[in-house]
Structure 1
Amino acid sequence: MNTLPPFSCTFSASFADILNNLNCSLAITTYQAGKLIFLSANNEGRVQQLPRDFKRAMGLAIDKNRLAIATENEVIVLGNAPALAATYANKPNYYDHFYVPRTTYYTGAVDLHDMAWDKQGRLCAVNTLFSSLVYINDQYSFEPFWTPPFIDQFASEDYCHLNGMAMKDGAPKYVSMFGATNTAKGWRPQVQTGGLIMDVETNAIVASGLAMPHSPRWINGALYCLLSATGELIKIDTATGNYEVITKHNGFVRGLAVYGDYLFVGLSKNREKASVKRNLPVGTTTMQCGVDIVHLPTATIVASAYYQNSAEEIYDVQIIPDTKCPGVLNHTAATHRNALHTPMVCFWAAEKN
């Protein structure tokens, strides 16, 4: 009996072609497997993946030459130093981007979800445990700057399961949560019907009655969101709160990125041990873990990547533009300590005897 290697994944025929044509790669996180994974298309037209260990990897932010990843207790920022790739001993002259650890912020275990840099260069994050949007910096564990108005106390109680954040014009604009509740995990009893989207600037509820909303995104002048409980990608009318279903997926949808005419949707299998994920409408389908690619102009799923083992869930999906083969080192392996990156030159320090 043949045993599949870890993180075996099946890719539809057009998956690599789409990445090649867009000249981009994907970064995905899975907290269940504790990995950051890069997916890219090689010169032979096949998809290759590069997994790296990051404990309980969740929210991702990618901006120009840097990448931030939320982990169990930390936010780790990596910088892109492609010149290091030329002399990287394991695979010299192989990668066209090369991310190495630059900064670690010790946040504590606060269940950070979505993250993004704003137009002022501040790293914004959804702090689910403290029901707040926060800045990640070197002054505090985290610095809150917005909390839903119905929450009247600041505590680590996950009052409303605030989880997603949509950026508009370089600032947080919309957030998703599971309920307008002000008690510890008060959202759980109505988890499939109590979800809502709020406007951060006005504190107005934009849409309600949603089935476990995640990953709101402002795309081409419109608000999109994922309804995890039903496996749906939706487009929300911010004036009326009504929405239309764009595509339906075979999985617990979470993690949404856009590039060109394509949306990249993260899929997870249902976790029967998680009480809030039992008896979901999407659970009646054959659930997958991976990524679906949606062609937005035609509202069709045109390509998919599904994991056969190792990965059961995806948290975030982000685009790395202008790269065909990105590389990355994590902060736990010793290799990154020898990677020296300066404004003038990059080189690898010699190993000490």
Structure 2
Amino acid sequence: MTDETKEAIETVADAAAAPAPADLPAAAPGQPQRIETKITCSRGFSQWLAMHNCSLAFTSYQTGQLFLVGTMPNGSLSLHQRNFVRAMGLIGDQQRLLLAGLAQIWRFENVLAPHERANDHFDKLYVPRRGQTVADLDVHELGIDTAGRLIFANTKYSCLATDSVVHSFKPVWRPPFISRLAPEDRCHLNGLAMENGVPRYVTCVATTDIVDGWRSHRRDGGVIVDVETDAIVAEGLSMPHSPRIHDGALWVLDSGNGYLTRIDRESGSRERVAFCPGFLRGLSFHAGHAVVGLSLARTEGVFSGLPLQDEIDSRKGEAWCGLQIINTRTGDIVEWLRLEGDIRELFDVRFLPGVRCPMALPTFGPDLASFITIEAPDRPLSERGWHAA
């Protein structure tokens, strides 16, 4: 290791934890296909997480992985990963994670009490408890409303939707420029900002109403739409993603230009807070800082011909894949984590406040099948007038 990095993990598959006791699963996942990736980070990355009492979760849909990044008791970086098919939108806190995959939306619950540790040092163990099958809707970002309903960006059908007991989804809102629901990805509705438990803003790559019409407007056709009023509150963006409400302002990733951008909700004025050398997707806030996900923009297809590459070239830089933590007041990049190798594209990232060192179980396999926990009854079984056999 050089003095520029705190950790260097040569292969994600080998980012294992300590051996597990007999009643807990091993932290290293079984992996049918080895993914070679070198991971480096800034000198203070793990100390920053520890100082701010948080960890990170992020997804790569390209390789189908969920990563949980925390700090070991000895201060070193912990990086735990699980495999999913097309891991996309992600939300979570100390108790719960929700993750969008190719055809399911998964709910994970932490089963550890505050004093318990898995494998001696993991303070959160997220176990899959529900997999809602919605089919391949190209689900992007997720939210939970005040009624506890799951809300998600249904990109294939250009709408916001919720899950259904019987059907694949139930639409709850669509942009005013979309004439009808159709599996045509007409505007590439990809981002969702919740406010006080209500869907408030979405990002679309264009206002087109024809199958895949957004692809011709990637450079400057992007908009942010107010779900409450149907008004377009920002336009002229390049492939915007990840709208968020933070400290009263509307934030967005102007991905095709490479900027974390803050928008004044009253005046509509915009401020480019920080430039990041990658295609930006995934945004979360904690303790006066933002974390963003960076991907290597493909040289052909939907990422080609964007202003991003010109901006990187003008700064004599190179694009890279990883995470950057940004001071929202100054725009300075204070810490970073970089991935080099097979993992080239990320989608979502979230701070997990109050979580120091998380891990998760897989959605299938012997680790999950043999891991059983029992919730304590409300009152002793003998007081119910019947007894278990």
Normalising by structure 1, we get a TM-score of 0.92
Which segment drifts farther, 62-71 or 195-204? 62-71
For 2:271 and 2:366, locate their aligned partners in 1 and report how far apart those are by CA, in whole Å: 49
Question: Compared with structure 1, are the counterparts of its residues 304 and 254 closer, same or farther at alpha carbon in structure 2 (3 Å cutoff)?
Answer: same
> Whose Rg is larger?
2
Would you say 1:229 and 2:229 are equivalent positions? no
Question: Compared with structure 1, are the counterparts of its residues 325 and 64 closer, same or farther at alpha carbon in structure 2 (3 Å cutoff)?
Answer: closer
Paired residue secondary structure (1:19): helix
Would you say 1:99 and 2:129 are equivalent positions? no
1:187 match: 214
1:117-132 correspondence runs (5 A): 117-132=144-159
For 2:145 and 2:342, locate their aligned partners in 1 and report how far apart those are by CA, in whole Å: 34
2:283 match: 256
Deviation of the 1:238 alpha carbon: 2.6
Question: Compared with structure 1, are the counterparts of its residues 84 and 235 closer, same or farther at alpha carbon in structure 2 (3 Å cutoff)?
Answer: closer
2:326 match: 294
For 2:365 and 2:69, locate their aligned partners in 1 and report how far apart those are by CA, in whole Å: 21
Q: C-alpha deviations, 1:239-269, integer Å up to 9, x for none?
A: 3433110000010011000011110010000
Deviation of the 1:7 alpha carbon: 3.2
2:98 match: 68
Would you say 1:326 and 2:358 are equivalent positions? yes
Would you say 1:57 and 2:87 are equivalent positions? yes
For 2:49 and 2:114, locate their aligned partners in 1 and report how far apart those are by CA, in whole Å: 24
2:137 match: 110
Paired residue secondary structure (1:193): coil
Deviation of the 1:61 alpha carbon: 1.8
Q: C-alpha deviations, 1:110-144, integer Å up to 9, x for none?
A: 10001021222111100000001011243321111
Would you say 1:283 and 2:313 are equivalent positions? no
Paired residue secondary structure (2:49): helix
Would you say 1:247 and 2:279 are equivalent positions? no
1:348 match: none
2:205 match: 178
Which segment drifts farther, 102-111 or 131-140? 131-140
Would you say 1:81 and 2:111 are equivalent positions? yes
Deviation of the 1:219 alpha carbon: 0.3
2:4 match: none
Percent identical across equivalent pairs? 37
Structure 2, unpaired ranges of 5+: 1-8, 12-35, 313-317, 378-389
Contact kept, 8 Å, 1:73 with 1:107, in 2: the verdict is yes
1:31 equivalent among 26, 50, 61: 61
Paired residue secondary structure (1:57): coil
Partner letter of residue 266 of structure 1?
Answer: G
- Number of positions where the alignment pairs a residue of Structure 1 with one of Structure 2: 339
For 1:10 and 1:85, locate their aligned partners in 2 and report how far apart those are by CA, in whole Å: 31
Partner letter of residue 191 of structure 1?
Answer: R
Partner letter of residue 90 of structure 2?
Answer: L
Superposition RMSD in Å:
1.9
Deviation of the 1:84 alpha carbon: 11
Partner letter of residue 146 of structure 1?
Answer: W
Partner letter of residue 208 of structure 2?
Answer: T
Deviation of the 1:338 alpha carbon: 2.0
